[in-house]
């Protein structure tokens, strides 16, 4: 068994890690921290964890709901860091120094460029030296580098949906490097702190756009889509750089992100337009061996991903306008956060990526 800790377990991503680790066959949770709840048992903070050990069922390692929350994490093989940015980097530094491998769910190690980080997060990067070490944690793109890494930067939820949705098209060079990503998100993405913007009576029966001046997932989307284009042999360049408009919307549901992506199709080698069938088989091939990515032939629903690590992708050609449309959806707390973190941890230890991750969504 590999011992793991969760740093800042009282966040929604920390809580989701608890749920997923409760049924993981190889990881055992031995330490949890949270500054606001030091000294409390897990089931005091999260009464839904109240449960008895699975007496007599030796096949499953269960979560211990009596685990006491501490201020500093105990020594474990692996740590999941669920702190806000900046605080996360400081924690990661300490953990790595003592030899703990880390999956960091914050934004601190996602961008390779410390200057870009400073521009978007408005403070100097606390550990720029680690930016080279950190691997951007999309297994579908970087599984070789994740295996054996010491630090994995778990991607943003919107970024995951957008990257998985657009990487195949940019890698294949079938679209112009100019995309619009219109994303719809459930409210849990805003975290566990109550605010006017997450107050039930105001969010219910409402939809609105936000972060119109620029959402912080934009630079990581740009970085990774450029990398995908380069990897596919269709690099973007200075004269025609990648140009992305990304607008998130808050919709009245708890979980789920659906990204609707729009781009101009290039012509194929014979100068004619790509068809939906061609695009779909290109996508299907790109994700042929992926256990969690499902290229489908009908518009997907976020509900198909609820509480699972699945991502559904639907590419099609709008024949009227010759635009490529890609709809990509996932559960922001699973494939968009805690599930992807466990997928990364599995890969990091050479375990099957699917270990401990639910294959089937909760529906309805």
Q: Which is nearer to a second copy, 179 or 229 (CB)?
A: 179
CA distance 185 to 183: 6
Minimum CB distance to a second copy, residue 129 (Å): 29
According to the binding rule CB under 8 A, does residue 302 interact with a second copy?
yes
Of 55-84, which residues contact a second copy (CB under 8 A)?
Answer: 55-57, 59-60, 62-63
CA distance 219 to 116: 8
According to the binding rule CB under 8 A, does residue 154 interact with a second copy?
no
Strands 175-185 and 101-104, bridge-based pairing: unpaired
According to the binding rule CB under 8 A, does residue 360 interact with a second copy?
yes
Contacts (Cβ under 8 Å, ≥6 apart) of 354: 291, 292, 343, 346
Q: Which stretch binds a second copy (CB under 8 A): 69-77, 78-86, 94-102, 252-260?
A: 252-260
Q: Of 3, 249, 284, 349, which one interacts with a second copy (CB under 8 A)?
A: 249
CA distance 257 to 49: 26
According to the binding rule CB under 8 A, does residue 86 interact with a second copy?
no
Nearest to 240 by CA among 262, 264, 257: 264
Minimum CB distance to a second copy, residue 214 (Å): 7
CA distance 175 to 228: 13
- 3-class state of residue 270 by DSSP: coil
Minimum CB distance to a second copy, residue 117 (Å): 17
Minimum CB distance to a second copy, residue 56 (Å): 4
Q: Which is nearer to a second copy, 60 or 98 (CB)?
A: 60
Q: Is the peptide bond before 360 cis (omega within 30 degrees of 0)?
A: no
- Token representation of residue 219: 């630079």
Q: Which stretch binds a second copy (CB under 8 A): 84-92, 143-151, 165-173, 349-357?
A: 349-357
Q: Of 1, 119, 252, 273, which one interacts with a second copy (CB under 8 A)?
A: 252
Cβ atoms < 10 Å from Cβ of 193: 7
Q: Of 4, 9, 32, 49, which one interacts with a second copy (CB under 8 A)?
A: 49
Q: Of 52, 123, 238, 270, which one interacts with a second copy (CB under 8 A)?
A: 52
According to the binding rule CB under 8 A, does residue 148 interact with a second copy?
no
Of 262-281, which residues contact a second copy (CB under 8 A)?
Answer: 262
Of 103-132, which residues contact a second copy (CB under 8 A)?
Answer: none
Q: How far is CA 263 from CA 140, 226, 234, 343, in A?
A: 22, 15, 15, 30
- Token representation of residue 44: 């005091």
According to the binding rule CB under 8 A, does residue 310 interact with a second copy?
yes
Is residue 157 among the annotated active site residues?
yes
User: Choosing from 82, 157, 261, 329, which is the catalytic residue?
Assistant: 157
Q: Map residues 172-211 to x or -, x wherever contact with a second copy holds by CB under 8 A.
A: ------x-x-x-x-xxx-x-x-xxx-xxxxxxxxxxxxx-
Q: Could you give the angle at which helices 139-146 and 339-348 cross, rounded to 10 degrees? A: 30
Q: Could you give the angle at which helices 12-21 and 339-348 cross, rounded to 10 degrees? A: 60
Instruction: Cite the active site residues.
Output: 157
């Amino acid at each position: 068994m590999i011992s793991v800790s969760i740093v800042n377990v009282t966040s929604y991503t920390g809580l989701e890690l608890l749920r997923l680790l409760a049924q993981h066959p190889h990881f055992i949770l031995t330490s949890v921290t949270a500054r606001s709840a030091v000294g409390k048992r897990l089931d005091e903070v999260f009464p839904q964890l109240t449960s008895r050990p699975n007496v007599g069922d030796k096949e499953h390692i269960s979560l211990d709901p009596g685990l006491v929350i501490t201020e500093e994490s105990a020594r474990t093989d692996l740590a999941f860091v669920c702190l806000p940015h900046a605080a996360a980097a400081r924690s990661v530094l300490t953990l790595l120094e003592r030899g703990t491998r880390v999956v960091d769910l914050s934004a601190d190690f996602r961008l390779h460029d410390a200057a870009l980080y400073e521009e978007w997060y408005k403070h100097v990067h606390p550990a720029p030296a680690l930016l080279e070490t950190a691997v951007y944690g999309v297994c579908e793109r970087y599984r070789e580098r994740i295996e054996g890494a010491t630090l994995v930067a778990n991607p943003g939820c919107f970024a995951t949906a957008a990257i998985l949705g657009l990487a195949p098209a940019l890698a294949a060079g079938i679209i112009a490097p100019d995309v619009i990503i219109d994303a719809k998100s459930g409210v849990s993405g805003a975290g566990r702190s109550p605010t006017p913007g997450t107050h039930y009576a105001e969010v219910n029966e409402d939809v609105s756009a936000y972060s119109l001046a620029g959402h912080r997932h934009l630079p990581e989307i740009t970085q990774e889509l450029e990398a995908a284009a380069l990897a596919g042999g269709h690099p973007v360049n200075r004269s025609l750089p990648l140009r992305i408009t990304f607008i998130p919307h808050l919709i009245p549901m708890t979980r789920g992100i659906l990204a609707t992506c729009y781009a101009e199709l290039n012509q194929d080698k014979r100068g004619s337009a790509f068809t939906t069938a061609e695009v779909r088989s290109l996508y299907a091939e790109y994700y042929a061996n992926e256990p969690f990515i499902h290229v489908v032939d009908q518009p997907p629903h976020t509900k198909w991903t609820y509480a699972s690590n699945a991502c559904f992708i639907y590419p099609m050609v709008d024949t009227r306008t010759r635009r490529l449309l890609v709809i990509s959806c996932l559960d922001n707390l699973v494939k968009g956060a805690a599930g992807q973190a466990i997928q990364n941890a599995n890969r990091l230890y050479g375990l099957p990526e699917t270990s401990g991750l639910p294959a089937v969504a909760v529906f309805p």
